[in-house]
Amino acid sequence: MIDDEIASHELELRSFGRRRGRKLSGRQERLLADTLPRVRPDLSRPPPADARGLFGVPVTQVWLEIGFGGAEHLVWQARHHPHVGLIGCEPFEEGVVKALTHIEDDHLGNIRVHPDDVRPLLRWLPASSLDRAFVLFPDPWPKARHRKRRLVGTPLLDQLARAMKLGAELRLATDIGDYARTMLAALMRHPAFRWTATRAVDWRHRPEDWPGTRYEAKALREGRRCAYLRFVRVCAPT
């Protein structure tokens, strides 16, 4: 049984593109060498009994952002919610160093960074440990032959359902209409999540506590409509 589970994990398709872009500066290299090990959850060790213990400051809740890009949203939430611990996942190196720069410059002790695929982290975290999760503008994989690589689907939702508390909120956003439809279809089928929208404005406009990002601004400049989906973790029917 364990061997089958390991094999299934190894067969998971990569849901992100490149890991590295331009050459890093000396300071950025130092951040990766010195700061990242201090703020990176160590998945080689047993998980904490309480995910709040991952942080170097007292926190009352734990939120997870999957694919934080340039870290604008992650850092905004950390600054505005100092008593919330945020775990940011991002495999792209330039995004990671942007988050690390803010952590060091702004002394943000309530951020932890996992510079890799989120799925091993979700399997490692204790059950019912997350109070909120974000999947904002994931890689759209627009070509039909690549759509199987899209991250948001039933397997990820199963992992999130295990890691999220009852009543926890899941926020998703995309500027790709086809991806919005497949996200919504997967979530509407999943028994552990309930859509909170009651009218069109609920998914067409960002709430005030949901800051914009450079990626979103680019999508709007190029005339793409963004969808903002909010779901609540509910008790699955038996």
In order of 35, 54, 89, 129, the CA distances from 39 in angstroms are: 7, 9, 12, 18
- Is residue 15 a part of any domain in this protein? no
- Is residue 63 a part of any domain in this protein? yes
pLDDT along the chain (238 residues), means of 10: 40 49 78 94 95 95 96 96 97 93 96 96 97 92 64 92 97 92 94 94 91 89 93 82
- Is residue 180 a part of any domain in this protein? yes
Instruction: Please report the pLDDT score of residue 195 as a whole number.
Output: 96
Instruction: Please report the pLDDT score of residue 14 as a whole number.
Output: 47
Range of the domain at 36: 26-233
- Is residue 18 a part of any domain in this protein? no
- Is residue 150 a part of any domain in this protein? yes
- Identify the active-site residue in 116, 117, 139, 202: 139
CATH number of the domain that residue 206 is part of: 3.40.50.150
- Is residue 223 a part of any domain in this protein? yes
- Cβ neighbour number for residue 164 with a 10 Å cutoff: 27
Q: How many domains does the chain have?
A: 1
Instruction: Please report the pLDDT score of residue 215 as a whole number.
Output: 85
- Is residue 212 a part of any domain in this protein? yes
Outline where the chain has alpha helix (H): 2-10, 26-30, 36-39, 72-80, 93-105, 118-124, 154-163, 177-189, 201-204, 214-221
Which pTM value belongs to this model? 0.88
Instruction: Please report the pLDDT score of residue 148 as a whole number.
Output: 76
Q: Specify whether 116 is catalytic.
A: no
- Is residue 6 a part of any domain in this protein? no
Q: Which two tokens stand for residue 206?
A: 């960002």
